[in-house]
Protein backbone atom coordinates (compact mmCIF):
# COMPACT_ATOMS: atom_id res chain seq x y z
CA UNK A 1 0.00 0.00 0.00
CA UNK A 2 1.38 3.40 -0.97
CA UNK A 3 2.18 5.78 1.85
CA UNK A 4 -0.96 7.68 2.77
CA UNK A 5 0.67 11.02 1.97
CA UNK A 6 1.11 9.86 -1.63
CA UNK A 7 -2.60 9.08 -1.92
CA UNK A 8 -3.41 12.48 -0.45
CA UNK A 9 -1.29 14.18 -3.12
CA UNK A 10 -2.78 12.07 -5.93
CA UNK A 11 -6.33 12.90 -4.83
CA UNK A 12 -5.49 16.62 -4.75
CA UNK A 13 -4.00 16.39 -8.26
CA UNK A 14 -6.20 13.87 -10.11
CA UNK A 15 -9.33 13.86 -7.96
CA UNK A 16 -9.14 10.18 -7.00
CA UNK A 17 -6.90 7.37 -5.76
CA UNK A 18 -7.24 3.62 -5.18
CA UNK A 19 -6.04 1.83 -2.03
CA UNK A 20 -5.89 -1.99 -1.94
CA UNK A 21 -6.20 -4.44 0.96
CA UNK A 22 -8.03 -2.16 3.38
CA UNK A 23 -10.38 -5.00 4.36
CA UNK A 24 -9.54 -8.68 4.80
CA UNK A 25 -11.52 -11.46 3.14
CA UNK A 26 -13.07 -12.26 6.53
CA UNK A 27 -14.07 -8.63 7.12
CA UNK A 28 -15.74 -8.47 3.70
CA UNK A 29 -17.56 -11.74 4.46
CA UNK A 30 -18.91 -10.34 7.74
CA UNK A 31 -20.08 -7.08 6.09
CA UNK A 32 -21.76 -9.05 3.28
CA UNK A 33 -23.46 -11.35 5.79
CA UNK A 34 -25.02 -8.42 7.66
CA UNK A 35 -26.34 -6.94 4.40
CA UNK A 36 -27.77 -10.28 3.24
CA UNK A 37 -29.80 -10.67 6.42
CA UNK A 38 -31.65 -7.33 6.37
CA UNK A 39 -35.30 -6.56 5.76
CA UNK A 40 -35.39 -5.08 2.25
CA UNK A 41 -38.97 -3.79 2.37
CA UNK A 42 -38.18 -0.31 3.72
CA UNK A 43 -38.83 2.76 1.57
CA UNK A 44 -35.14 3.73 1.60
CA UNK A 45 -34.38 0.52 -0.30
CA UNK A 46 -34.52 0.48 -4.08
CA UNK A 47 -34.83 -2.87 -5.78
CA UNK A 48 -35.00 -3.69 -9.50
CA UNK A 49 -33.53 -6.23 -11.89
CA UNK A 50 -30.62 -3.89 -12.60
CA UNK A 51 -29.89 -2.38 -9.22
CA UNK A 52 -30.40 -2.84 -5.50
CA UNK A 53 -29.61 0.22 -3.40
CA UNK A 54 -29.95 1.23 0.23
CA UNK A 55 -30.02 4.95 0.97
CA UNK A 56 -28.92 6.18 4.40
CA UNK A 57 -27.08 2.88 4.63
CA UNK A 58 -25.30 3.45 7.95
CA UNK A 59 -28.51 4.68 9.57
CA UNK A 60 -30.60 1.79 8.25
CA UNK A 61 -28.03 -0.87 9.17
CA UNK A 62 -26.13 0.52 12.19
CA UNK A 63 -24.67 -2.89 13.05
CA UNK A 64 -22.44 -2.66 9.97
CA UNK A 65 -20.73 0.55 11.11
CA UNK A 66 -18.10 -1.04 13.37
CA UNK A 67 -17.26 -3.57 10.66
CA UNK A 68 -16.73 -0.84 8.05
CA UNK A 69 -14.74 1.55 10.23
CA UNK A 70 -11.87 -0.80 10.95
CA UNK A 71 -8.43 0.45 12.04
CA UNK A 72 -7.19 0.70 8.45
CA UNK A 73 -10.09 2.88 7.32
CA UNK A 74 -9.97 5.12 10.39
CA UNK A 75 -6.25 5.72 9.82
CA UNK A 76 -6.82 6.51 6.13
CA UNK A 77 -9.60 9.00 6.94
CA UNK A 78 -7.51 10.75 9.61
CA UNK A 79 -4.35 10.97 7.51
CA UNK A 80 -5.98 12.04 4.24
CA UNK A 81 -9.00 14.06 5.39
CA UNK A 82 -7.93 15.26 8.84
CA UNK A 83 -9.41 14.66 12.26
CA UNK A 84 -12.55 16.78 11.91
CA UNK A 85 -14.33 14.99 9.06
CA UNK A 86 -17.64 13.22 9.66
CA UNK A 87 -20.05 11.11 7.58
CA UNK A 88 -22.70 13.10 5.71
CA UNK A 89 -24.11 10.47 3.32
CA UNK A 90 -24.00 6.70 2.79
CA UNK A 91 -25.42 4.41 0.10
CA UNK A 92 -25.05 0.71 -0.66
CA UNK A 93 -25.12 -0.31 -4.33
CA UNK A 94 -25.50 -3.83 -5.69
CA UNK A 95 -25.22 -4.10 -9.46
CA UNK A 96 -26.31 -7.75 -10.12
CA UNK A 97 -24.59 -10.18 -12.44
CA UNK A 98 -26.98 -9.62 -15.37
CA UNK A 99 -27.42 -5.89 -14.82
CA UNK A 100 -27.79 -3.55 -17.78
CA UNK A 101 -27.54 -0.57 -15.42
CA UNK A 102 -25.08 2.06 -16.57
CA UNK A 103 -24.41 5.65 -15.51
CA UNK A 104 -23.46 8.45 -17.89
CA UNK A 105 -20.74 10.92 -17.01
CA UNK A 106 -21.76 13.31 -14.22
CA UNK A 107 -20.59 15.10 -11.09
CA UNK A 108 -22.15 14.54 -7.66
CA UNK A 109 -23.62 17.99 -7.18
CA UNK A 110 -26.11 17.51 -4.33
CA UNK A 111 -25.95 16.91 -0.60
CA UNK A 112 -28.54 15.17 1.61
CA UNK A 113 -30.23 17.43 4.17
CA UNK A 114 -33.03 17.19 6.73
CA UNK A 115 -35.57 19.60 5.19
CA UNK A 116 -36.23 22.06 2.39
CA UNK A 117 -35.70 25.74 3.19
CA UNK A 118 -35.07 28.82 1.07
CA UNK A 119 -31.41 29.79 1.33
CA UNK A 120 -29.23 31.92 -0.91
CA UNK A 121 -26.98 29.84 -3.19
CA UNK A 122 -28.72 26.57 -2.24
CA UNK A 123 -30.65 25.00 -5.14
CA UNK A 124 -32.09 23.37 -7.12
CA UNK A 125 -33.83 20.97 -4.73
CA UNK A 126 -34.98 17.37 -5.23
CA UNK A 127 -37.03 15.03 -3.04
CA UNK A 128 -36.80 11.22 -3.25
CA UNK A 129 -38.61 8.88 -0.88
CA UNK A 130 -39.16 11.74 1.59
CA UNK A 131 -35.46 12.62 1.55
CA UNK A 132 -34.22 16.07 0.57
CA UNK A 133 -31.24 16.87 -1.61
CA UNK A 134 -29.93 20.24 -2.71
CA UNK A 135 -27.05 21.66 -4.71
CA UNK A 136 -25.04 23.72 -2.20
CA UNK A 137 -22.44 26.44 -2.83
CA UNK A 138 -19.35 25.21 -4.64
CA UNK A 139 -17.07 25.50 -1.60
CA UNK A 140 -19.13 22.88 0.22
CA UNK A 141 -18.87 20.43 -2.69
CA UNK A 142 -15.14 21.06 -3.05
CA UNK A 143 -14.67 20.14 0.60
CA UNK A 144 -16.31 16.68 0.41
CA UNK A 145 -14.45 13.37 0.06
CA UNK A 146 -16.14 10.15 -1.06
CA UNK A 147 -14.95 6.66 -0.13
CA UNK A 148 -16.17 3.71 -2.22
CA UNK A 149 -15.58 0.35 -0.49
CA UNK A 150 -15.60 -2.61 -2.89
CA UNK A 151 -17.08 -5.93 -1.75
CA UNK A 152 -16.24 -7.55 -5.12
CA UNK A 153 -13.44 -7.38 -7.67
CA UNK A 154 -14.47 -4.64 -10.08
CA UNK A 155 -13.07 -3.83 -13.52
CA UNK A 156 -14.23 -2.49 -16.88
CA UNK A 157 -16.32 -5.64 -17.43
CA UNK A 158 -18.59 -5.29 -14.40
CA UNK A 159 -19.19 -1.59 -14.03
CA UNK A 160 -15.99 -0.13 -12.61
CA UNK A 161 -16.10 3.65 -12.45
CA UNK A 162 -14.66 5.53 -15.40
CA UNK A 163 -13.41 9.01 -14.57
CA UNK A 164 -11.94 12.12 -16.16
CA UNK A 165 -8.76 12.85 -14.16
CA UNK A 166 -8.36 16.41 -12.85
CA UNK A 167 -11.95 17.36 -13.74
CA UNK A 168 -12.68 17.92 -10.03
CA UNK A 169 -10.66 21.14 -10.17
CA UNK A 170 -12.77 22.75 -12.90
CA UNK A 171 -15.85 23.71 -10.92
CA UNK A 172 -19.23 22.77 -12.40
CA UNK A 173 -18.29 20.82 -15.54
CA UNK A 174 -21.17 19.84 -17.81
CA UNK A 175 -20.63 16.38 -19.34
CA UNK A 176 -21.89 17.53 -22.74
CA UNK A 177 -18.97 19.99 -22.91
CA UNK A 178 -16.21 17.37 -22.42
CA UNK A 179 -13.54 17.84 -25.09
CA UNK A 180 -12.03 14.39 -25.59
CA UNK A 181 -9.20 15.97 -27.59
CA UNK A 182 -8.04 17.43 -24.30
CA UNK A 183 -9.40 15.11 -21.61
CA UNK A 184 -8.55 11.47 -20.91
CA UNK A 185 -10.59 8.60 -19.46
CA UNK A 186 -9.40 6.33 -16.68
CA UNK A 187 -11.08 3.01 -15.74
CA UNK A 188 -10.82 2.52 -11.98
CA UNK A 189 -10.40 -1.20 -11.34
CA UNK A 190 -10.57 -2.00 -7.62
CA UNK A 191 -9.97 -5.37 -6.00
CA UNK A 192 -12.30 -6.86 -3.41
CA UNK A 193 -11.44 -5.37 -0.02
CA UNK A 194 -9.98 -2.23 -1.58
CA UNK A 195 -11.40 1.24 -1.86
CA UNK A 196 -11.46 4.25 -4.11
CA UNK A 197 -11.35 7.75 -2.69
CA UNK A 198 -12.67 10.50 -4.96
CA UNK A 199 -13.83 14.10 -4.97
CA UNK A 200 -17.52 14.42 -5.87
CA UNK A 201 -16.79 17.06 -8.54
CA UNK A 202 -14.73 14.47 -10.45
CA UNK A 203 -16.60 13.57 -13.65
CA UNK A 204 -17.46 9.88 -13.38
CA UNK A 205 -19.75 7.21 -14.84
CA UNK A 206 -19.92 3.44 -15.32
CA UNK A 207 -20.73 0.94 -18.07
CA UNK A 208 -22.99 -2.09 -18.16
CA UNK A 209 -21.86 -5.40 -16.71
CA UNK A 210 -20.68 -7.77 -19.46
CA UNK A 211 -18.86 -10.56 -17.60
CA UNK A 212 -21.68 -11.94 -15.44
CA UNK A 213 -20.05 -10.82 -12.19
CA UNK A 214 -21.78 -8.65 -9.61
CA UNK A 215 -20.46 -5.38 -8.23
CA UNK A 216 -21.28 -4.35 -4.67
CA UNK A 217 -20.05 -1.00 -3.40
CA UNK A 218 -20.52 0.98 -0.17
CA UNK A 219 -20.43 4.71 -0.94
CA UNK A 220 -19.74 7.06 2.00
CA UNK A 221 -19.32 10.84 1.81
CA UNK A 222 -17.45 12.96 4.38
CA UNK A 223 -17.24 16.67 5.16
CA UNK A 224 -15.93 18.86 7.97
CA UNK A 225 -18.21 21.81 7.19
CA UNK A 226 -21.31 22.79 9.13
CA UNK A 227 -24.30 23.95 7.11
CA UNK A 228 -26.21 27.22 7.72
CA UNK A 229 -28.12 27.03 11.01
CA UNK A 230 -31.46 26.56 9.22
CA UNK A 231 -30.23 23.30 7.68
CA UNK A 232 -28.69 20.03 8.88
CA UNK A 233 -26.92 17.14 7.17
CA UNK A 234 -29.50 14.34 7.08
CA UNK A 235 -26.97 11.64 7.93
CA UNK A 236 -24.36 13.29 10.09
CA UNK A 237 -22.38 10.61 11.92
CA UNK A 238 -19.28 11.60 13.89
Q: How far apart are CA 36 and CA 155, in angstroms?
A: 23
Q: Is residue 174 part of a domain?
A: yes
pLDDT value of residue 5: 85
Residue 124: asked if its preceding bond is cis (omega within 30°), the reply is: yes
pLDDT value of residue 11: 98
Q: Is residue 230 part of a domain?
A: no
CA atoms within 13 A on the CB side of 24: 6
Phi then psi dihedrals of residue 139, to 5 deg: -65, -25
Q: Is residue 229 part of a domain?
A: no
Structural domain count of the chain: 1
Whole-structure pTM value? 0.93
Cβ atoms 172, 107 nearer than 8 A: yes
Cβ atoms 22, 72 nearer than 8 A: yes
pLDDT value of residue 50: 57
pLDDT value of residue 102: 81
Sign of the torsion angle spanned by Cα atoms 162, 145, 217, 16: positive
CA Rg, the chain, in Å?
A: 17
Q: How far apart are CA 88 and CA 223, in angstroms?
A: 7
Q: Is residue 235 part of a domain?
A: no
Q: How far apart are CA 3 and CA 214, in angstroms?
A: 30
Q: Is residue 231 part of a domain?
A: no
Q: Is residue 237 part of a domain?
A: no
Residue 88 neighbours by CB distance under 10 Å: 22
Chain centre distance of CA 70: 18
pLDDT 10s per residue in the chain (238 long)?
568 889 999 999 999 999 999 999 999 999 999 998 887 676 666 666 556 888 899 999 999 999 999 999 999 999 999 999 999 999 998 887 666 678 899 999 999 999 999 999 999 999 877 789 999 999 999 999 999 999 999 999 988 999 999 999 999 999 999 999 999 999 999 999 999 999 999 999 998 888 888 899 999 999 999 999 999 999 999 8
| Nearest of 107, 83, 76 to residue 7 by alpha carbon | 76
Residues whose CB is less than 8 angstroms from the CB of residue 44 and which lie 6 or more positions away in sequence, other chains included? 54, 55, 56, 60, 129, 131
- In angstroms, how far apart are the furthest CA atoms of the chain? 48
Residue-range definition of the domain harbouring residue 27 = 4-223
Q: Is residue 238 part of a domain?
A: no
Q: Is residue 234 part of a domain?
A: no
Q: What is the CATH number of the domain that holds 140?
A: 2.60.120.620
pLDDT value of residue 86: 97
pLDDT value of residue 220: 98
Amino acid sequence: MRKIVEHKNIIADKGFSIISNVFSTEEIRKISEVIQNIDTSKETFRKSEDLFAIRQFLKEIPEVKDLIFNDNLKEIIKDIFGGKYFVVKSIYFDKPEKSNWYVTYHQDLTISVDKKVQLDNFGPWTTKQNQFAVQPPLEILENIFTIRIHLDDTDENNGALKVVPKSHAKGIYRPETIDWNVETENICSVEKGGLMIMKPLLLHGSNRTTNGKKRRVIHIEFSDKELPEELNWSEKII
